[in-house]
A and B are shown apart, each in its own frame.
Chain A
Amino acid sequence: MIKNITNLGDAAVYCDFGNQIDQETNLNVIKYFKNLKELKIEGITNITPSYNKLIVSFEPSVTNYEKLKNKIIDLKLDNKENQNSKIIKIPICIDEEFSLDIKRLSKELKMKYDQIYNSFFDKEYYCYMTGFIAGMPFLGDTRENIRLNRLETPRVKVPKGSIGITEQFCNIYTYESPGGWNIIGNTPVKIFDKSNQENPALINPGDRVTFYKISKQEYQKYNE
């Protein structure tokens, strides 16, 4: 549950669920997110879930920190948690054209390419949050043997569709963007589709994701 509530500036409530980064903590964050969202409280402009925090921003001419903080503390949680969670299968091509950092990973982790990919594919991932750029999912946890820090110097441009890993996390670059994660492949799937206004993000907090390998031919034909 919420360990500490404070203000973030004069227009947001900052709810801290503790230092632990795990699914249990995150499921609590998401539960609060979904419950608060349903209430449609006047003045709330955004609710932002992350690994272990929930930030509730508001229009300060309509409500204030103290009022909203009390509403969050008094919130009656509906326990039908994550009834909408999905399991999503994402194809990845690991051709050398796409696996920009496999060499570095292999060297740093002292593992063969196959070993790294076996560890990576043989796992179901959990979506902690979506954000930074539109639709980018932050997934976890990767197996301990393939965990590595991000690049010392981030890339100016990471190609759209890139799959990156760092620490215990994995993400998918929904747009070409700067970034420092270790890139191990690329997916042809549109992870963020703005033409689907109702549900533009394919992967949402609480969802589960597995990856499977496709050939370069399959990759090229995927969107035909």
Chain B
Amino acid sequence: MSKNYFEILRPGINSTFQDLGRFNQHHIGIPMSGAMDKRNYLIGNKLVGNNNNISAIEFAYQGPLLKLQSSKVIAAITGNVNFKILRVNSKVEEGQCYETFELNDGDQIDIISTNKSVYGYFFINGGFEIESFWKSFSINTMAQIGPNDGIKFGLNQKLFVKNKESKFQKKRIDYLHSKIEFIRVLKGTNFNYFSEEGTNNFFNKEFTVSKLTDRMGMRIEGPKIENIFETNIKSEGLIKGVIQVPGDGNPIIMLSDYGTVGGYPKIAVVISADHDRLTQLNPGSKIKFKLVELNEAENLYKLYEIETKNILNQIR
């Protein structure tokens, strides 16, 4: 193991390692996990010259304060994040997202907060010295699997880095987060369990993201969605984006660490192209849903993929 590491001087609220997720384990109750905002994950790895399988540190709201005990590393942060670099000579630099910077022995990086969003990502060239679990570096804190014994970061821990010799080259992109107007959805498999008034409310009224929101799911508040058929179904599989409505009429949107089966009726499913934007909605944000058809959703995902590729191609 390398002797080079970051010391955690403040762990942040929910700081974990994440990558593109853990596949094919639903049948034993393990969800996909992985970076909540996939595009920002891909951009960061490209900036620091990593492939897509090298895990990043994901943080929520408040990120960690880290002190480097190592020879220099090349790093980047993506998301909408306030951060500072505290140089070993006491100089303080304002951090800029979407551009690479160098950290030297003794430097600290203080990831203060995410702005009007939830998740941000910290990357280093070469990645961290961690072991994969079922072919993924994602931490799943529910099942306690993944690196770091499957738990979120704690105080004074050491995060060992893989030092990769590479010459620093400034890389940056201009990336604007697209403004969100609607979260687009497809009808769920139990759409007709709900009253006409209920589904009308769902598509025409505004909902607010509640504080009960984490990597597992997002509870939203608004008009109650009335069920006129059956408030429980026999438990069946879930995926990210499914919107379940329990008996109390308040929808729950499944996010990356969802329970793999669930027994509440599914009113709708968020289209894949809108997952990144959805996960970045912080408590208090307003949501309006818009119904689309499957072929539209498929085209919107193609568009999302092309946009992502274009952004990544700007980084050279």
Contacts and interface: CB of A to CB of B under 8 A. Distances in A.
B262 A132 contact: yes
A49 B150 CA distance: 25
Contact of B269 (A9, A21, A131, A192): A9
A45 B272 contact: no
A121 interface: no
A46 B25 CA distance: 7
Interface residues of A, number: 46
Interface residues of B, number: 43
A182 interface: no
Given A45-B23, A60-B272, A55 B237 contact: yes
A8 B294 contact: no
Interface in A129-163: 129-136, 138
Given A11-B239, A51-B236, A135 B27 contact: no
A9 B305 contact: no
A46 B32 contact: yes
Contact of A53 (B24, B143, B236, B271): B236
Given A51-B235, A134-B145, A9 B26 contact: no
B239 A57 contact: yes
Contact of A204 (B28, B32, B238): B28
Interface in B126-142: 133-134, 142
Interface stretch (A73-81, A83-91, A193-201, A215-223): A193-201
B27 A9 contact: no
A198 B28 CA distance: 12
Given A48-B261, A50-B234, A55-B239, A133 B29 contact: yes
A40 B237 CA distance: 19
A97 B150 CA distance: 30
Contact of A132 (B150, B260, B271): B260
A186 to B, nearest CB: 19
Contacts of B261: 48, 50, 129, 131-132, 138
A99 interface: no
Contacts of B302: 61
Contacts of A194: 133, 143-145, 150
A164 interface: no
A60 B298 contact: yes
Interface in A2-61: 6-12, 14, 21, 33, 37, 44-55, 57, 60-61
A6 B11 CA distance: 44
Contact of A45 (B28, B32, B238, B242): B32
Nearest to B28: A201
Given A10-B294, A138-B235, 19 more contacts: A8-B188, A9-B242, A10-B297, A44-B24, A45-B21, A45-B32, A46-B24, A47-B24, A47-B27, A53-B236, A55-B236, A65-B298, A129-B235, A131-B260, A134-B29, A134-B143, A174-B29, A192-B29, A194-B143
Interface of B: 21, 23-30, 32, 133-134, 142-145, 150, 186, 188-189, 234-239, 241-242, 259-262, 266, 269-272, 294, 297-298, 301-302, 305
